[in-house]
Structure 1
C-alpha cells in the first residue's frame, strides 16, 4: 500500500472502517497508592476500544462539499444495549452521527459494563457484566457488512476465528487492523499470534505489549521497538509477508515498517513538554488506529502518511477523560481543527529531515 497505487482499496465499499470492538459503559473508582479512597468520583462514561476507534476516525470528517473527507456514514460499530442502557449515553452517541451506530437490544440483560479501578497511577480493568463478543457474521444484514477496513482488539485465538470467518465471505478482502488485547500480550501467547499473522495486514501492539510478547526488556527504547517490529515481520505479517507493523509508543511516537521498506518514526503530537495537554491516555491507542484507518482512506492507501493522521486522532483522545468534544458542524474537536494539527505535525517531520 503506497501513494503510488493507481486505485484505492476503498473503492466500491459502503464503509471505510467498521470495528468489532465491544461497546462498554465504563465505571470508575479512585484510590491512592495505599488503597484509600481519594474522594474523586466520575460519572459512568462511554467506553470500549471499538468506540474510541470509530471516534478517532470520525475526527477526519468535515461537512465540506468541495473537498473529499471521511463522513460519519463511512464508519460503523454495533452497539449492544441491555435493558439498563442509559438514554443519556445513547444521545451522546447519536451526537457524533446516527449512521455510525447499529443498536441491538438484549431484553432482560445488562449492558456490558466494566470497572476501571485507579490505585495511584495504576489502572486495572474488570468486567461487571458482558454481552456476547462481536463476530464478522454479526455484520450481515447491516449497513456495515463487507467494510473496506475491519478493526478488532482481542486475543490471538479470537483474531484467528475472526479472520477465518472473513475468508468464508466471498468478495470481501478487508484491510485487517489487529490490536492485541493488553493482558494477553505475554510470551506464552506468541505461538498463537504467529498462527494468525499471515491473515493480518496491520499488526499494532503498543510498545510494552510488543516487548512483552517477544520477551524483550520492558523499558521501551526506539532501538528495542525497531528490533521488535523487525522480529514480528520475520514471522510473516500479511499474506506472503506483505503486511505492516505499527508499534504505538506513547511519547516516543509510533514506528511503522513493512518487510521491504525502511521503517519511519512519527512523532506524538503532544509530549510531556506540553504541560497540561495529556490528561488521560485511556483509549488513545484505539483512537490512533481509527485515525490510521481514516488516513488510509484519505491518502489512497499510503500507510506512512496514515500514521500522521493516527497521531493526531490520539492527540484529541488524551486531552480529557472520555471522548473528545465535537463541534456542531463536526469541523472542530476540543476546539481545534484536526487538519491544522496534521499540517503542523507534517511540517515538524519535514523540518527534522532537513
Structure 2
C-alpha cells in the first residue's frame, strides 16, 4: 500500500487552520456548560487529519498561518501528527485565526473572532505543497471559481478537485454560480441539508430525497469534462455516492450505526475528515470512489468520538493506532458489513 517515491503531495487542502472556542448555552442564551477554549479546528485541519489516518505525513499538506500568539500546546499537538504536514506562514504582526462555536439545543452558530486569511493555489507555489495530486477546498461557489481559475493558470497541473461548499453559502441564490463550475469539479460533496437547501428541496432529508439531489447535481454537469462524482454526506444515514462511472449509486454506511450512538460525542469536523479519508481512499482503491468512501467513513468515525481531533499513538508492534485501534480493522468491519448487503 506504499505510495510512490515522488515528492509531490497526494492531498493538499486550502482550508484554514483555526483555533476554536466552544460555548454551550441554554434557550435564554446563558452559558449552560463548560466552555472549551483553544481547541485545534478548521475544516482544512480536519480534512488533513482524515487523510493522515491512512497516509504518511509527507503525503498530506496544509498551510497554517501562525500568529505571534500561537499556543505552544497547539504546536506540540500538531507535531504529533507529523511535522511534514504543516507549512507554517509566520507573521509576528498578527494573531492566529480564531473563532467561536455556539451550541444552543440543535442550533449551532459560528463566528470568527479575528480576520480570515484566505489560502489560494498560488500560495502553494514555491513550497513543498505545490501542485498536489488532489486539491480540497471549502468555500462559496464564487470563491471556488476563483480557485479553479488559479489552478488553470498554473502550468502542468490538473489536480483531482474535491469541493465542499461552505455551509452558509448553501442557499438557492448560489446555485447558478455552482452550476457554472461543476464541470471542473471531480468530487462535489455537500451534506444532506446543504444539498437540499441549494436545490430548494423540502426537508427533512430522506434516503430517497438525497438520491434525487445527487442525480440533480450530476445532471447539472459535475465532472462532465471527465469522470465526476457526487457524495452527499447524510449523518447517521451514511453517505450516498453517485458517479458517472457507474449507472447506479450506492449508500455507504456510517461506521457508527444508530444503535451505537454512545460512541458519537461531537460531529464537528466529521464531514471534513470524511473527505480527507476519501482522498486517501482514492489512492488505495485506484480511483474507485465507492471503495474510497469506506476509507472516508472510517476517518469520520474517529473524528466524532471526542471533542476535537482524534489521537494517534504507536502500538506495541510500532504500528499507528488511532483512538486506541487500527483503521485497517475498522475498514474490514465496514467492508464485511457492505459485503452482506451487496453480495457479489
TM-score, normalised on structure 1?
0.92
Q: Given the alignment of the two structures, is residue 291 of structure 1 paired with residue 277 of structure 2, yes or no?
A: yes
- Unmatched runs of 5 consecutive residues or more in structure 1: 1-8, 61-69
Counterpart selection for 1:56 from 50, 54, 68: 50
State the match for 1:166 in structure 2. Answer: 151
CA RMSD of aligned residues (A): 1.5
- C-alpha distance in 1 between matches for 2:181 and 2:252: 27
Q: CA contact under 8 A between 2:21 and 2:35: conserved in structure 1?
A: no
- C-alpha distance in 2 between matches for 1:239 and 1:259: 8
Distance verdict in 2 for CA 1:146–1:154, change over 3 Å: same
Q: Which structure is richer in relative contact order (CA contacts within 8 A, separation 6 or more)?
A: 1
**Pairing of 1:1-354 with structure 2 (within 5 A):** 14-60=8-54, 70-240=55-225, 242-261=227-246, 262-328=248-314, 329=318, 331-354=320-343
- C-alpha distance in 1 between matches for 2:319 and 2:277: 15
Look up the SS of the partner of 2:215 in the other structure: helix
- C-alpha distance in 1 between matches for 2:116 and 2:105: 30
TM-score, normalised on structure 2?
0.95
Q: CA contact under 8 A between 1:57 and 1:290: conserved in structure 2?
A: yes
Distance verdict in 2 for CA 1:281–1:49, change over 3 Å: same
- Unmatched runs of 5 consecutive residues or more in structure 2: none
Post-superposition Cα deviations, 1:158-209, rounded to whole Å, max 9, x if no partner, equal 1100011001111101000000000000001100000111111100000010
Q: CA contact under 8 A between 1:156 and 1:180: conserved in structure 2?
A: yes
Q: CA contact under 8 A between 1:233 and 1:241: conserved in structure 2?
A: no
Q: CA contact under 8 A between 1:13 and 1:146: conserved in structure 2?
A: no
Q: CA contact under 8 A between 2:184 and 2:225: conserved in structure 1?
A: no
Look up the SS of the partner of 1:273 in the other structure: helix
- C-alpha distance in 2 between matches for 1:77 and 1:87: 19
- C-alpha distance in 2 between matches for 1:20 and 1:318: 22
Distance verdict in 2 for CA 1:16–1:163, change over 3 Å: same
Deviation at 1:106, TM superposition (A): 1.7
Alignment length (residue pairs): 337
- C-alpha distance in 2 between matches for 1:96 and 1:26: 19
